[in-house]
A and B are shown apart, each in its own frame.
Chain A
């Protein structure tokens, strides 16, 4: 009888262990990328000057991407945060413009793999951007604010190249604004009148492909090393928008370098860490 009981216990224990292996828990990884960039920048802001200012900028970008859920890996969520500062000069090089910008976006992409090694992601993103341009020698119009939010069409193509010792990932990402809202002051209105006297008429504009067009292709290569993956690439941005009889233009070419890595995220009631993970909060 004891032998029979022992046999049954061992049988069920094995069955339970087998069952646990059969429903293996899946965890979502988030791919994080931090990039630094050096850019050649051209800005035309007719509110400040009819001339195009050119100069250099430095950028920092943080991007994270993860699948929608453990079961739906075709959809992915992407968020990006970009900072940039630049110093530009007018063509005569006797007036400078300082430029600062921050932009945040959330995107959703659908992934499909037409062939082995090639991945396409198509979707959209919603962004909000805030920038400030300062031409300090100007009188009563020394600065102008860029403020806009856009729904963008977004696409990413990735291709893995298998080399002898590593796999390189080539990536081309493109975004273009579709519709949104933007702030553009009237050419003749001073910030004194707008913000001290509260005359905000004519500054709010609906934007679409008819008055705001742009594209920002970015080509990068992810190169895996022993303990890290480095990203290098080239970025280009062209943005043009029109409002209040003024045409604003931004052209930028940048050299990008950064690192990309995967991390796992546990948090909240639904995503508790397994026991074999050690958290400083435990």
Chain B
């Protein structure tokens, strides 16, 4: 009896002691710095692609920690370190601020005026709203126009069917995704599906498989499936600017493979890395690009997608109530 009791007691006591408790950095400036640096070092996907020497960035910013006094200066220091990544998908969220890198569009012309598209020359005041889509006809009813301002705004097949029915007499369609900062990839895929006749491979995605900067999985095909019943098989122009980012970047990438589509405007803002998130010991959330996405030629889409026709919104046109990019699209669709 003693033997059996001893075996059970030993198992109960010794087995948990064989297991190590999870280790986490302490909630200090040093601990939070180490934690953030390591998350990016092991999980951020563009360090090699962007030729970023993350070790030297460690040196530069680590030596500034002793001079930091207070949570806000520490947050700003961490934010500056993250901005070295030059990535709109990288943010640090605290209870008092969100660090961000916005130069991907702030350093470029906006090429969009929301005031212009709602003038009588274009959508006017009688446009219709179906889900997240604002739509109407332009160019004397010859061209359908949809403004979609966020891929976070939902729409359904019946919303699209309604819009397309109203465009039955139009010979072409414009989908304006300027200033659309992204949202759901599902909506990106869904919106693109209406412009494909057959299921088409439109890109690839990979993810980190290890802590090394170039430890990636094999590319996985991203297929844009053609919608079974709703298909626009006439010319379509996609209007872009630098603020067409993230899921919008994905949509534009898909549309480069659509049979009757043409991309007009400025280069998109990019944001080709699918972001994930993690957190620091002090509870701050960090968002970072984790899974790089590629076009059909296995080229990274992180730095945006070039348009087929590059057009800028001129100040003169804008002053005269003319959207240069829409006008160029109308001309290209004729």
Contacts and interface: CB of A to CB of B under 8 A. Distances in A.
20 contacts: A50-B24, A51-B24, A52-B22, A90-B279, A91-B281, A95-B283, A95-B285, A115-B1, A155-B11, A157-B8, A174-B8, A188-B45, A188-B291, A190-B207, A193-B205, A193-B220, A193-B291, A238-B15, A244-B209, A247-B20
Contacts of B283: 90-95
Given A172-B8, A236-B16, 10 more contacts: A91-B283, A95-B285, A140-B290, A186-B217, A188-B290, A192-B185, A199-B205, A213-B19, A245-B210, A247-B20
B interface, over-half SS: mixed
Nearest to B9: A172
A155 B326 CA distance: 75
A186 B207 contact: yes
What is the predominant secondary structure among interface residues of chain A facing chain B? loop
The number of chain A residues touching the other chain, given as a range, is 35 or more
Contact of A92 (B27, B45, B222, B275): B27
B276 A140 contact: yes
B268 interface: no
A120 interface: yes
Nearest to B184: A192
Interface string A187-206: 11110110011110110000
A141 interface: yes
A114 interface: yes
Given A118-B1, A137-B285, A199 B220 contact: yes
Contacts of A247: 20, 22
B295 to A, nearest CB: 16
Nearest to A219: B12
B207 A193 contact: yes
A240 interface: yes
Interface of A: 44, 49-52, 90-95, 114-115, 118, 120, 137-141, 155, 157, 172, 174, 176, 186-190, 192-193, 196-199, 201-202, 213-215, 217, 236, 238, 240, 244-245, 247, 249
B43 interface: yes
B279 A95 contact: yes
Nearest to A138: B277
B276 A141 contact: yes
B276 A51 contact: no
Contacts of A52: 22, 24
B138 interface: no
A245 B12 CA distance: 27
A215 B220 contact: no
A95 B282 CA distance: 11
A236 B12 CA distance: 10
A141 B218 CA distance: 20
Contact of A197 (B1, B4, B35, B220): B220
